[in-house]
Copies of this chain bind each other. A is one copy, B any other.
Amino acid sequence: MFGRIALLGFGLIGGSIARAAKAQGLAGEIVTTARSEKSRQRVRELNVVDRVTENNIEAVKGADLVILCIPVGDCGPVAKEIAPHLKPGAITSDVGSVKGSVVREMAPHLPAGVHFVPAHPVAGTEHSGPDSGFAELFVNRWCILTPPAGTNPAAVEKLHTFWTAIGAKVEVMTPDHHDLVLAITSHLPHLIAYTIVGTADELEQVTSSEVMQFSASGFRDFTRIAASDPTMWRDVFLANKEAVLEMLGTFNEDLAKLTRAIRRGDGEALFEHFTRTRAIRRGIIQIGQDSAAPDFGRPHPSLPPVPKPYSGE
């Protein structure tokens, strides 16, 4: 599909694209970058890509598809750095969780004759680093493309085909709409998870070890996304400030409403709310975006050996 693919960055997303593209045979050659010598050494050992380099310019030379797989705050500077070295006709894309700011910061640097097709694969885990990726990460997940007006339709089509080939379903929308959608489906949930995990960690009345010990009652679910990559998430909140603050405003109003119901002992309002929220989970399971297994399918160890029978029986 592509003679050469350059992936700038080999973390969870870059590493998963590399593994999936290799498994599906989508590139004659895959080149990647990694910042530290330690990471480059690890990438070599993993034997997924054909070449790993420290140098962005060297990586993009001659590449037919260049994907920036780096924190969104780095996209502008890297676009500026690589722009003069991009192959004419190459597709340049990214995987950033924010699209408005990435488009604003990358587009001005990219030369005519290079096709800019910003992308966001809506998939991930809480892990990061060269070992965290896997070829199946994008299967059955959505990849959102936000091509600026006037982008070459053939380039959009080709990137669409690429993402489909590694298992994703593709949707096209504007950067602004993307940023609103992700503010509620991803950024606000992460902010809230990061907040409550921090709150629990700093309480005076309850120790951290108690919090961990009794976390299976709900709290542990929040710790997963609050363990996500700090650099990536710092950049997301800085880059999608307005949409996040807007969603946060609505969330705060709703939390105030439920708080009032608790304070007043309004069981009916609580019951009504708690009944309504069940439907959205059913919908998510129906469209295949989560497992129907209880507790996300977490494993349950077997019962201990049967205790000695009570002497009275």
B-contacting residues of A (Cβ < 8 Å)? 1-3, 20, 23-26, 28, 73, 97, 122-127, 132, 134-137, 139-142, 144, 161, 164-167, 171, 180-182, 184-203, 205-206, 208-228, 230-231, 233-235, 237-238, 241, 244-245, 247-248, 250-252, 254-255, 258-259, 261-263, 265, 267, 270-271, 273-284, 287, 289-291, 294-304, 306-307, 309-310, 312-313
Contact = CB atoms under 8 A, between A and B. Distances in A.
Contact of A271 (B216, B230, B297): B230
B214 A307 contact: no
Contact of A216 (B165, B290, B302, B309): B290
Given A245-B259, A254-B199, A262-B241, A185 B291 contact: no
Nearest to A205: B180
**Chain A binding site: helix, strand, loop or mixed by DSSP?**
helix
Given A167-B304, A230-B274, A254-B195, A241 B265 contact: yes
Contacts of A297: 296-299
A144 B123 CA distance: 37
A218 B262 CA distance: 27
Contact of A2 (B164, B166, B310): B310
A1 B281 contact: no
Nearest to A262: B237
Top 10 nearest A-B pairs (CB, nearest first) are: A186-B217, A125-B294, A230-B274, A189-B218, A223-B281, A227-B281, A296-B296, A136-B300, A226-B277, A197-B277
Contact of A189 (B180, B196, B267): B196
B212 A280 contact: yes
Nearest to A271: B234
A192 B198 contact: no
28 contacts: A1-B309, A125-B294, A126-B281, A136-B303, A137-B300, A139-B304, A140-B301, A142-B214, A181-B211, A184-B200, A185-B210, A193-B221, A197-B277, A198-B258, A199-B247, A203-B247, A208-B283, A220-B289, A221-B224, A223-B281, A223-B290, A224-B296, A226-B281, A227-B277, A230-B270, A238-B267, A241-B265, A245-B263
Contacts of A215: 185, 284, 289-290
Given A124-B217, A220-B290, A284-B215, A274 B233 contact: yes
Contact of A214 (B185, B228, B230, B265): B185
B298 A291 contact: yes
Given A259-B245, A259-B248, A270-B238, A201 B134 contact: no
